[in-house]
Amino acid sequence: MTAPVIIGVLALQGDTREHLHAVADLDAIGRPVRRADELDSVDGLIIPGGESTTMSKLAIEFGLLEPLRKRIAAGLPVYGSCAGMIMLASTILDGRADQVPFGGIDMTVRRNAFGRQVDSFEGTVDISGIDGGPFHAVFIRAPWVESVEDSVEVLGRVKDGPAAGRIVAVRQRHLLATSFHPELTGDLRVHRYFVEMVREAGKTTEG
């Protein structure tokens, strides 16, 4: 029997608990990550939703910015949801001047693209590589992806409404990002997809 993978959840700010529960439901080990030494012990990392500017500031204060950038560059599987998507972007539109992302995905993301908290909504998204039909997605002050480089795979777009066609799920090699919050729906398919990414990365490393 193979050992369970260890999935860290960046616990500087945001909805950490829900992601930890989702990971545990998939027979992986979830651990909150606040310090660089905690980052060293995980096989993959989830960057949760929250406030991306605050997350950026706290990552610098807690000494996590550079260690996390180095592990991303070295191939650490990372999944970012909502604010986590913003933190994985190479370019942020409508962000603060002092906001520093972790980077890793060659995309341009527009912060709060769907509007403020009162403009939060739910909709359906078809996600490539995830079976079971459309995903019921919850968008809360969500970003969207304005553009991607050729190295980025677009996995999902908004199906209906005024934002129809906007990119809301992407993958670039070992990095995954969604505009929406799968941890709030009880649907584990996105988390399962990421856990499998982590397991496959571990097999590659072992080989």
Q: 84-131: per-residue pLDDT in tens?
A: 999 999 999 876 767 788 999 999 999 877 666 545 678 888 899 888
pTM score: 0.92
What is the token pair recorded at 170? 């992407």
Tell me which of 19, 82, 174, 191 is the catalytic residue.
Answer: 82
Q: From CA 159, how far away is CA 165, in angstroms rounded?
A: 6
Tell me which of 18, 19, 174, 183 is the catalytic residue.
Answer: 183
Q: From CA 72, how far away is CA 79, in angstroms rounded?
A: 11
User: Which segment of 11-20, 65-74, 107-116, 145-154 scores lowest on mean pLDDT?
Assistant: 107-116
174 in catalytic set: no
Which residue blocks in the chain are alpha helix, DSSP H? 16-25, 36-39, 52-61, 65-73, 83-88, 189-206
By the 8 A CB rule, do 158 and 165 touch?
yes
Q: 6-60: per-residue pLDDT in tens?
A: 999 999 987 799 999 999 999 999 999 999 999 999 999 999 988 888 889 999 9
Question: Angle of helix 52-61 relative to helix 65-73, nearest 10 degrees?
Answer: 100
In sequence order, which residues have a C-beta less than 8 Å from that of residue 194 and are 6 or more positions away? 7, 44, 46, 77, 79, 176
Tell me which of 18, 19, 174, 181 is the catalytic residue.
Answer: 181
183 in catalytic set: yes
153 in catalytic set: no
Question: Angle of helix 16-25 relative to helix 189-206, nearest 10 degrees?
Answer: 70
In sequence order, which residues have a C-beta less than 8 Å from that of residue 31 and are 6 or more positions away? 6, 7, 8, 9, 20, 38, 41, 42
Q: What is the mean pLDDT of the chain?
A: 88
Q: From CA 154, how far away is CA 63, in angstroms rounded?
A: 32
